[in-house]
Each structure stands twice: as C-alpha cells, then as structure tokens.
Amino acid sequence: MIGNNQRPRRLRKNGLVRNLIRETELHLNQLIQPYFLTINPEAQEPIQGFSGVYRWGIDQLSKKIEKDITQGLNSFLLFGAAQPSEKNEQGTAAYEEKGVLPSAIRTLKERFSDSIVLASDVCLCPYTSHGHCGLVEGTEIQNDPSLVALGQMALVHARCGVDIVAPSDMMDFRVGYIRNLLDEQGFDQTLIMAYTAKYSSNYYGPFREALGSAPKGDRATYQMDFRNKTEALRELELDLAEGADMVMVKPALAYLDIIRAFKERSSVPVAAYSVSAEYQMVKLMAKEGLAIEQKLAIENLTAIRRAGADIIITYFAELIASQGWLK
C-alpha cells in the first residue's frame, strides 16, 4: 500500500460534491461598487489607465444605478471631484452644500430611497490644491483643524440623506469626532465606515488619475507603513472605541493577513477595499491574454472573503452584476 488511507481527493470527485463542501461564498449582497462623479449631468467619461471605469454625471449615474439594482447590486460608494479651479488650500469645496457629491446623494436617495445603500467618501484630497487628505501648514498635515473640515463634510452628506459616511483621511480621532458631531445634530442613524488600516500604498494610481488627487509629496505621515501590522491593531482598537460601525482594511489583496487579524478581533463587520490597481492589474492580465478576467477577478475577491472580509468594495461589482458572473 502506498502511503495511508487518507484520500482528500474523494471530496473533489465531482462538481456537486465540490459545491457541497465549499467553504467560502461570494455574493452580490456583500459588494459595494465605487462610482466617481463629475459636474456635467450627462457625462460618462473614460479614465486614462482605469479600464471600464468612468466619471459619471448624475443623470447617467442615476440610470446606471437603476440598472444595477435590477441586476441585484444595491450598495454604492460615491466619490466627488472638483475642477482644478475649485480647489484651494483649505479644500472648502469639500463641504459646499451645492457640490457635486452632496447633490448626487440627495438625488439618488430621493429617487431610490431604501432600495440602495449609499456610502460617501469623506476626505479633503479631491478638493485641496496640495492634494493632501488634511489641512497643511508649512510642511505639516494638521490633525485637529482637519477634523473640523471633515466633520462639516460628513454633516453635509448626512443632511443629504447618505446611509454611510466613509472617512478615508487617516487623521487621528476622526471617527469619534464625526460620531459626536452627527449625534449632536440628530444623525445618530448615519453609519460610519472607518478606513481603519489604510496603508500608504502603491496600488492607488488609477484612482488618483480618476480624481486628479495625487498629493504634493506623499501621505506617509498619515497613511500606514505597509511593513506594520501591530499598528493596524491599535488603529482597530481606537476606531472600535470611537464608535465605528464597520472597520476597513485597504488595500485588500496584499493585506489578507490584516483582514484576518481584524476579523478575529473585531466586534463589528470588517470591510476590505480592493483598490484601483488591484482591479487594473486584472484588466491588464486579461488584455494580454494571460488570464480570463472573470475567473481571475472572482478568485481574488473570494480570497479576500476567505481571509475574513464581510464586505468588499470593488470596481468589479457592477460587472459581476451585469455579466452575471456569480450565477
């Protein structure tokens, strides 16, 4: 006899047996699709280096989301954008009530009400002339003054009816600050999805192209060093204590260990943001004929779920829905 009588292959013998013992499921309910907004209501502008992703005008986006809903996709994360002429040192366009993002939130929630879950990005980088996520004095990013601006932005979004505010700036104490402010103003039902461990990563290129938000210098004094894990656990403790409703790891694929660690320690749902370059790498592989797009995308997203993510933010969500990749 060769070896022993252990034969794991019995459990792989045919498709139905394999289905029966599958450990990880990926479902549209767990996916959030990011969308970028732009000012012209009829726009659907392609973005250089970000295949199949667009800057949307509100009229076009509204139609797109209507289609997404019929295909089973219901959750969206919106990013605003500012024209270069609207940007300034203080990023004041971020909390302009008539801005493209607050207006879009209002329109979409009026139209779709609770048949969508709408999240909004809360950050200054698309609106500051220096491109940083916080306010700058000299060469320093000012933590506490930034909280005031971020709080205003979150409040404007809450007033427009957003379901979830998602602060992506990585300033200290922004979750607690925003929670207190929203509660004081009567928005105790607005959720906060915290970018808890957001790394200073090389995977953000196509996104920065989309928003024109590349910073002068880098984000190393606020985003985390990709060499660190213990530090992420500290951020997790703080965000939970400050009242985050969901905690997030970003990027996802190169950070599966962080996702797993969060899942083991978190008392709230764990989200993972599979970022722009993770998406674009799959697109480029497929374009070169080196992989089948659908299969590679589903493998990556399933791995992120297997690591422990309850929720995944992915640019593939609308394609998965429209192409029926999970059917």
Alpha carbons within 13 A on the beta-carbon side of 232: 27
75 and 30 in contact (C-beta within 8 Å)?
no
20 and 13 in contact (C-beta within 8 Å)?
no
Kindly state the smallest distance separating residue 198's Cβ from ligand PBG, in Å. 7
C-alpha distances out from residue 303 to 201, 233, 285, Å: 20, 21, 18
Kindly state the smallest distance separating residue 199's Cβ from ligand PBG, in Å. 9
**Sign of dihedral through CA atoms 282, 164, 192, 153?**
positive
Question: Residue 33: phi, psi to the nearest 5?
Answer: -95, 125
Tell me if 36 contacts ligand PBG by CB under 6 A.
Answer: no
Tell me if 127 contacts ligand PBG by CB under 6 A.
Answer: no
Q: Is 250 one of the annotated active-site residues of the chain?
A: yes
Span of 144-152, 171-179, 202-210, 230-238 interacting with ligand PBG by CB under 6 A: 202-210
Tell me if 213 contacts ligand PBG by CB under 6 A.
Answer: yes
Contacts (CB under 5 A) with Zn ion, residues 123-162: 123, 125, 133
Residue 276 binds: one of ligand PBG, Zn ion, none (C-beta under 5 to 8 A by kind)? ligand PBG
Span of 84-92, 142-150, 200-208, 291-299 interacting with ligand PBG by CB under 6 A: 200-208
Residue 275 binds: one of Zn ion, ligand PBG, none (C-beta under 5 to 8 A by kind)? ligand PBG
Total residues interacting with ligand PBG, rule: CB under 6 A:
12
Alpha carbons within 13 A on the beta-carbon side of 137: 5
Packing angle between helix 276-287 and helix 293-307, nearest 10 degrees?
150
**Cα(238)–Cα(236) distance, integer angstroms:** 5
Contacts (CB under 6 A) with ligand PBG, residues 136-195: 168-169
60 and 304 in contact (C-beta within 8 Å)?
no
Residue 248 binds: one of Zn ion, ligand PBG, none (C-beta under 5 to 8 A by kind)? none
Tell me if 50 contacts ligand PBG by CB under 6 A.
Answer: no
Could you tell me how many residues make up the chain? 327
Kindly state the smallest distance separating residue 65's Cβ from ligand PBG, in Å. 19
* Residues labelled catalytic: 198, 250
Site residues for ligand PBG per CB under 6 A:
123, 125, 133, 168-169, 204, 207-208, 213, 219, 275-276
